[in-house]
Amino acid sequence: MRIHALTFQAIGPYAGQQHLAFAQLDQVGLFLLDGPTGAGKSTILDVITFALYGKADDERKNTELHSTLAKPGVAPTITLDVSFGSRRFVIDRVLQHLAPRRGAKDPDDVVIRQASIALTEIIEGESRQLTTRVDEAQQILRSVIGLSREQFTSVVLLPQGDFARFLKASSNDREAILRQLFNTHRFDEIGDYLANQAKKLRGAVEADSERRDSLRAGLIQIAETCTAPAHDTTDPVDEKLSELSDEQLIEHVENLMSQMETQARDRVEQSTTRLEQAQKRFAELQEQQTQIREATDYRQRRQAHHQDAGAAKTARQQLTMHDRAKPVADAHRHFQTAQQQQTAAIEQWQHQLDAAQHDPMVVHWAADRDIFTVTVDEVAALVDGWKTVESSAIRAVEQLRQHEKTQATITAHQQQLTQRQHAQEQLTEQIAARQQTFETVREELEASKAKAEQLAGVEHTLETVQQQLRDAKSKQSAAKEAHTAQLAANTAEQARDEAKKTSDDALEHAQTLLRRRIEAAAGFLAEKLEDGQPCEVCGSMSHPAPAELHGLEEISNDAVKTAEDRATEARRVANEAEQTYQSRSTTLHELQTRAGGWGVTEADAAVATVEHSVATAQQNVTELAALRARIKEHETRVEALRAEQSAAEQQLTETTTQITSITTELEQLRAALAAALGAYETVEALRSAVEPAYRTVSQIVNQGADVSTAVKEQTSCADRVAEALRKSATDEEPAFDDADAATAHLLDAQTYREHDQLVRQWTTEHDRLEEKAGQPAVVAGLKLLDEGHSAPSEEALETARDAQHAAQVALSQANREHGSIQAAHNQARGQHQQLEEVSRRSAHQLATYEELAGLSDVVAGRGENSATMPLRSFVLAGWLEQVAANASERLTGMTGGRYELKHAVGHGGRGHAGLNLEVIDHVNDTVRNPSTLSGGETFMASLALALGLADAVQAQAGGVAMDTLFIDEGFGSLDAETLEDVMGVLDALQDDGRLIGLVSHVESMKQQIPHRIQVHKTQTGSSVKVIAPDLA
């Protein structure tokens, strides 16, 4: 993993947006994450973790990531540009946060904004968004990172205060940490799986055993129930069935059931034979009875049929005569109807012709033709004559339509003439009005140009006063900030003076206590001096001026030390207060310089004056812009008016020409129409004469066609009557003389139906008797009757039926017995197969169960497991051994070869074996417990162990390359020489291309590591920046 850039805002102590370009540190390898306590150094690590996994290193931090210093409505966001191997991603996250509701006036009216993400991959310089779904993005990131969040925080972000946790943990606690990092839960699942499988197999073995006992009991019960009386009871197998093996018991039951099934089958065959004999006798009696009954019925029906033969013959003859006469009668009826229709049509046509003689226009078209009287013989000629008249009428109507078009043209020309005359008047008025408008617009254009010349140069004036306003506002802002800075400087000066006084008082108090302690000590020594005895301080034998106590009490060394510490702390506070005062004084001086010596009042007045000048200039510029727009508009309007005037004059000329042309054409059309109308004054008068006459002629022609059709139909009907009479002749009878003779033989509908039904019934009965006479039953029955036999009695049939039923019952009983024995035999065979299958399966499952149970005990650390170590602990012990080896390599370099970490087997209770650590001290070749190390030694051992653990976790994750590493705190417990050794190990880590970030307050490390991410802490929030001196 290689981090290129990190951008975030509104998170933790960072209210505003922060950007860290890690790419600037790629060539450095080692950098420092520096800043005061509580500034937010560890927050940067939390932000990286959250960007990758959607949560920080614990739940508490997840809920506290949103900054309380950010402005309302500013969302907490994270953008991480990071590479994993050859793939580069940009992760954009928005954290869950409270935000003001849209449109809300109350600042406390907030809603929860849910977390979101946008995952983008950079491929060949092009950005391609992969997903915006949180679950999909997390799955993609987990696959490319290769580490869980817990592994990541242990491998990449070595967290504050956790260095020694793994080193000094108990075997049980160490196992919990290792299981989380190396994900060995699957080995627990293996043990659980084996135990569950063994449990299932044990239950299956027990169930099979119970099933086998149940099947044997069932077979024994079948054998005892089905033992036949004829069976040899002295057979020793029958005496103790329960002692037989499965194979013997199966064979014994099979023999018994086969014998019983054979006996039952024999009984079924015997019953079947008896039933067939009884059914045959009963069928013979039934057949004889049926034959005699059928023959008797046939003789009775044949006799009745002969009696009805005469009536049927007479009815058939009358029906035949009716069928011959009916076509003739129908044709004659149609002839009479056609004759009546012809007469009516001729009468109506003559009436129309009589009326037409009174219409002058029709008489004119007839042209003296004799076509007004109807005769049957001359219908065709009369129709042709009126068709000629119709042609004349059509020509007259066509001429009328032409006159109507001419009249419509005259009307249209008159309307056009009126419109053109009206347009001529309007154009004349428009030309005069447009000329007046042109003069007015030209005068306004000249006035606007004159006013625009007066305002020339106002744009430059506006730019000048706007720049003056910006300068004045800048000074105004600086003056206001200077006023605030003056107050802050005054406060800082007061705080400095108070801190200095407190520091001086604390120093004086400490010096007073020290002086009093020295004086008291001298007094106590002086009291012990004796003449002739040497002084304990100077060794002199004489004591000319011994010190006096004067009531002084002895001052303790702790009291002096406390006073000195307080003086030192007060001096530190005073120095910080002095630095604050100097910083604020410098800021005040810079702001006063920017304000140009103005105070707030002077700056406000200057800004107001310049704002008035800007407003005036802006008004002039606005007025000039309006004038320029008006000038352009007037110029456009003048050109438009000229074009419109020219077009209007051209249109007036064209309109005048059109008026002259239309007037001439209108006069010509009127003269031609008057000549065509002749005696008729108007087209309407001609129409009132032509159209009624034309309708009359059309009706006469149509009626003539109807008369012609009626004549033809009457002739056709007369021909059909003659043809029907001719066809009425048959081979036996001549044709009817006329239609009346045929009509005399017609039957009414009721008589016809009765005769037809009689003939049909007699014919049907005749056919049925002919068919019945050839039936075998009738033939056999007639033979029996001729021989003097009679039908069997009902008593004989009942006796045969009872015998058949008794045989059927006996067969059913035999079949039931056979079926029952056969079903029991099949059931026994099924139990045979189940018993054999259960026996085979039980043996196999028992062997498998014993194998699984043994393997489950070994995985759980029991049974043949000589190490009494569960599989999960065995695997973890292997990883811990690798971790210890990796850590020892670095710890040896840090401690100059003195210390080495070693994996120890030991026992941790409840099977937690092989997870202990020991420290080898090569100074005296002793084995030490990690808890006996000093603070600095503990830090080095913990750091080495953490790095070794990181290497092992990366290897376990498939060789995941973590090119970025952060180490949080802990260097303060090292002396200068040890720190140098630790720095050497860290330098070795960066030799393979890693980027290592150290979080520390150690001053010497700041001097050794110039490249750093600097965190600045203020009351309004923290900020960060990358400091890379040689890359600037």
Are 889 and 904 contained in the same domain? yes
- pLDDT computed for residue 230 by the predictor: 43
Global pTM reads 0.40
**Domain contains 600:** no
- Average pLDDT for 259-269: 84
Residue 961 clears pLDDT 70, i.e. is over it: no
**Domain contains 439:** no
505 vs 941 pLDDT, higher one? 505
718 vs 864 pLDDT, higher one? 718
**Comparing 104-118, 125-139, 229-243, 1018-1032, which segment has the lowest mean pLDDT?**
229-243
Amino acid at 596: G
Are 55 and 142 contained in the same domain? yes
Residue 352 clears pLDDT 90, i.e. is over it: no
pLDDT in tens, 673-687: 888 777 788 888 888
- Average pLDDT for 693-717: 87
Q: Tell me how far apart the alpha carbons of residues 807 and 816 are, in angstroms, rounded to a whole number.
A: 14
Number of domains composing the chain: 3
Are 126 and 222 contained in the same domain? no
- pLDDT-derived band at 911, boundaries 50, 70, 90: very low
- pLDDT computed for residue 866 by the predictor: 67
**Domain contains 758:** no
Are 926 and 1019 contained in the same domain? no
Q: Tell me how far apart the alpha carbons of residues 155 and 166 are, in angstroms, rounded to a whole number.
A: 13
pLDDT in tens, 764-789: 888 888 888 888 888 888 888 888 88
Are 31 and 9 contained in the same domain? yes
- pLDDT-derived band at 61, boundaries 50, 70, 90: low
Tokens in use for 431? 């030309």
- pLDDT computed for residue 231 by the predictor: 47
DSSP bridge pairs for 634: none
**Comparing 246-250, 341-345, 519-523, 727-731, which segment has the lowest mean pLDDT?**
519-523
**Domain contains 753:** no
- Average pLDDT for 859-864: 69
- Average pLDDT for 228-245: 58
**Domain contains 89:** yes
Domain boundary at 844, 859, 886, which?
Answer: 844
**Comparing 288-292, 896-900, 972-976, which segment has the lowest mean pLDDT?**
972-976
**Domain contains 832:** yes
- Cβ(570)–Cβ(527) below 8 Å: no
Q: What is the CATH number of the domain that holds 894?
A: 3.40.50.300
Tokens in use for 355? 């009326």
- pLDDT computed for residue 64 by the predictor: 64
Three-class secondary structure of residue 111 per DSSP: strand
Neighbours of 18 (CB within 10 A): 20
**Domain contains 692:** no
Neighbours of 243 (CB within 10 A): 9
- pLDDT-derived band at 164, boundaries 50, 70, 90: low
Are 954 and 967 contained in the same domain? no
- pLDDT-derived band at 93, boundaries 50, 70, 90: very high
Three-class secondary structure of residue 902 per DSSP: strand
Are 124 and 35 contained in the same domain? yes
In angstroms, the Cα distances linking 769 to 142, 295, 302, 759, 927 are 101, 11, 7, 16, 132
Residue 281 clears pLDDT 70, i.e. is over it: yes
- pLDDT-derived band at 233, boundaries 50, 70, 90: very low
- Average pLDDT for 689-705: 87
Residue 991 clears pLDDT 80, i.e. is over it: no
Q: At what angle do helices 600-677 and 379-454 cross, to 10 degrees?
A: 150
**Comparing 111-115, 219-223, 230-234, which segment has the lowest mean pLDDT?**
230-234
Residue 163 clears pLDDT 60, i.e. is over it: no
What is the phi/psi pair of residue 9, to 5°? -155, 160
Residue 1024 clears pLDDT 90, i.e. is over it: yes
- Cβ(999)–Cβ(160) below 8 Å: yes
- Cβ(742)–Cβ(736) below 8 Å: yes
Are 937 and 820 contained in the same domain? no
- pLDDT computed for residue 63 by the predictor: 56
Tokens in use for 435? 């000329």
- pLDDT computed for residue 485 by the predictor: 87
**Comparing 33-47, 450-464, 593-607, which segment has the lowest mean pLDDT?**
450-464
What is the share, in percent, of the chain residues with pLDDT greater than 70?
87
Three-class secondary structure of residue 33 per DSSP: strand
- pLDDT-derived band at 491, boundaries 50, 70, 90: very high
905 vs 1020 pLDDT, higher one? 1020
Domain boundary at 959, 987, 1007, which?
Answer: 959
Are 167 and 53 contained in the same domain? no
Non-local CB neighbours of 677 within 8 Å, separated by 6+ positions: 403, 683, 685, 686
**Domain contains 26:** yes
Domain boundary at 959, 981, 1003, which?
Answer: 959
What domain range is 59 assigned to? 1-146+963-1032
Are 831 and 918 contained in the same domain? no
Sheet with 899-904: strands ordered across: 899-904, 916-921, 926-928
Average pLDDT, the chain: 80
- pLDDT-derived band at 190, boundaries 50, 70, 90: confident
Q: Tell me how far apart the alpha carbons of residues 797 and 811 are, in angstroms, rounded to a whole number.
A: 21
Are 136 and 170 contained in the same domain? no
**Comparing 464-478, 688-702, 937-951, which segment has the lowest mean pLDDT?**
937-951
Residue 238 clears pLDDT 80, i.e. is over it: no
Tokens in use for 177? 């940490």
User: DSSP string spanning 792-838?
Assistant: PPHHHHHHHHHHHHHHHHHHHHHHHHHHHHHHHHHHHHHHHHHHHHH
Are 10 and 111 contained in the same domain? yes
- Average pLDDT for 200-214: 74
Tokens in use for 401? 């339509």
- Average pLDDT for 221-249: 64
